[in-house]
Copies of this chain bind each other. A is one copy, B any other.
Amino acid sequence: MTPLQLARLSFLPSIPPLLKDISSLSFIKKQEMEGNEAIKSLFPHTFMQPHLEGVQGQSKKAVLRLGVVLSGGPASGGHSVIAGIFDSMKRLSQESRLFGFLNGPKGIITNQWRELLKEEIDRYRNQGGFDLIGSGRTKIETPEQFKSSLEVVKELKLDGLIIIGGDDSNTNAALLAEYFLKEGCSTRVIGAPKTIDGDIRDVYIEVPFGFDTACKTYSEIIGNIARDAISSRKYTHFIKLMGRSASHITLECALSTQPNLAFIGEEVAAKKKTIAGLVQEITDCVIKRFERGREWGIFLFPEGLIEFIPEMNELIKQLNLLLAQGVALEEIPKKVSSTFALLPEKIQKQLLLERDPHGNVQVSQIATETLFMELVAKELQRKGFKGKFSPQSHFLGYEGRAGFPSNFDTTYAYALGLIAPVLIRDGFTGYMCYVKDLIHPPSQWKIGGVPIISLMHFEMREGKSKPVIKKALVDLNGKPFKLFDKKRDLWKEEDHYLFPGPIQFFGDSSITDTVPLSLTAEYSSR
């Protein structure tokens, strides 16, 4: 282990007051969730459950047998949730036992698990990654998979199953909860909100864990690149940021580093911006900066940008249709919208040749950052640009998902873990645990449980309308976007780059315990 790994093992996350004496935690039922008939028909057993608020109650011990599974891409804090679960259930009873399903939900279906003991948990406290038990993307979908999951939890005599995952994994948790109840199985299912993308949000889930560490890691790198740019004075950096559809990560990183331009997919869609329009916007910025003696720049692009551009969306629909109809490849360019002709040859090829397993165009594989790099270079040439334009492309993704969790993430995730066993002790199922008022110190955090189906709506998935957790997109009327919108004009032509530097774990709390800026913007005046 490295010195930092060792040092982090002994970090003690601050604990919200209600979670200090965990056996005395109790829940009161708050307002009932709103529901509709469509949801009701699918979730007859878990429909209309109330929101739960954690309060101080009588000490209530319990011997629990719990299963835990990590689902989807890693997010910093996963090991902290597991440590929280473990500590919580051991305080409820030293005889409680925790079983970790291996490599994602597949581990439940195939009955692959390992009992997690103290020595092992202790080696993973406050560490990054999901490697204690591994993760995976398998979904529990078919009747056979539901059935074998039921058999496994029964065989293990689980009082509860805790699913640490994103929107789809928590959708799965809700479906399992419903199914287990229907089958008369007493295993409760509880979810914990995980995803670097930051797209699970509602009144109770202010942000999933992992978002903070990812954004801070990307912001460290963006800040370093920006400082390089003003030092070497010759490169224009096109930086794509992970985050699937929603642009939360790009918005947070923009607030943290103040780049010259940052595109928010949701705004691009709302304003119906075109590829040509975006290229113009970037080109104008390059030219105006050149006129002020700045032949460098920092531009941020969210991973999901392409699918928010209406004409690209249209083009992709056309392509998918023509491909499905078996139209010859060489005929396709003539039959689709003129947007196709605008794209660099490499991207055209990619759109025609690379398919996902369903035969669809792989939107997420399009290299947005090089797409714009090439189109801007062409446009500058067309305009007879006299300055230097040396573009560099970057994609920040995997480096932000499994690093040491920030103090914010490890403390938040640990608290989520502490709550879950108590929800199970009290018989609740189909809930996600929540911690809120996160911009305040942990001593002021509120905790509780939110019915997962209260976050759901219906979406078309593979041709069928399915209940899924609604992805929270950037709200263009929300305070974080408005803050960005107010400041961004200033950043375009002059340089107001900020250099956040690497995440710090020791020293002054004004450096180690910072909260995402978008969260502060959202909640600070409430």
Contacts and interface: CB of A to CB of B under 8 A. Distances in A.
Given A128-B499, A398-B228, A402-B228, A103 B504 contact: no
A155 interface: no
A508 interface: yes
B7 A403 contact: no
Contact of A231 (B135, B223, B499): B135
Nearest to A401: B228
Interface residues of A, number: 57
Interface in A467-522: 498-508, 510-511, 514
Given A398-B237, A501-B2, A129 B506 contact: no
Contacts of A230: 129, 131, 134
Nearest to A225: B398
Interface in A63-103: 70, 73-74, 78, 103
A481 B51 CA distance: 60
A227 B129 contact: yes
B505 A233 contact: no
So how many copies of this chain end up in the complex?
2
B7 A508 contact: yes
A504 B220 CA distance: 13
B128 A227 contact: yes
Contacts of A431: none
B506 A506 contact: yes
Interface string A356-380: 0000000000000000000000000
Contact of A2 (B403, B498, B508): B498
Nearest to A228: B402
Contacts of A203: none
A5 interface: yes
A399 interface: yes
B134 A233 contact: yes
B129 A399 contact: no
Chain A contact surface mostly: loop
Nearest to A72: B232
Nearest to A128: B227
A404 interface: yes
A508 B504 CA distance: 12
Contact of A227 (B402, B498, B505): B402
Contacts of A7: 507-508, 511
A235 interface: yes
Interface of A: 1-5, 7-8, 70, 73-74, 78, 103, 127-131, 134-136, 217, 220-221, 223-225, 227-228, 230-233, 235, 237, 392, 394, 398-404, 498-508, 510-511, 514
Q: Which 5 A-B pairs have the closest CB atoms?
A: A506-B507, A502-B502, A130-B231, A129-B227, A227-B402
18 contacts: A4-B499, A4-B504, A7-B508, A74-B231, A128-B499, A128-B501, A129-B231, A130-B231, A134-B231, A134-B233, A223-B403, A228-B402, A394-B398, A502-B502, A502-B503, A502-B504, A504-B504, A505-B507
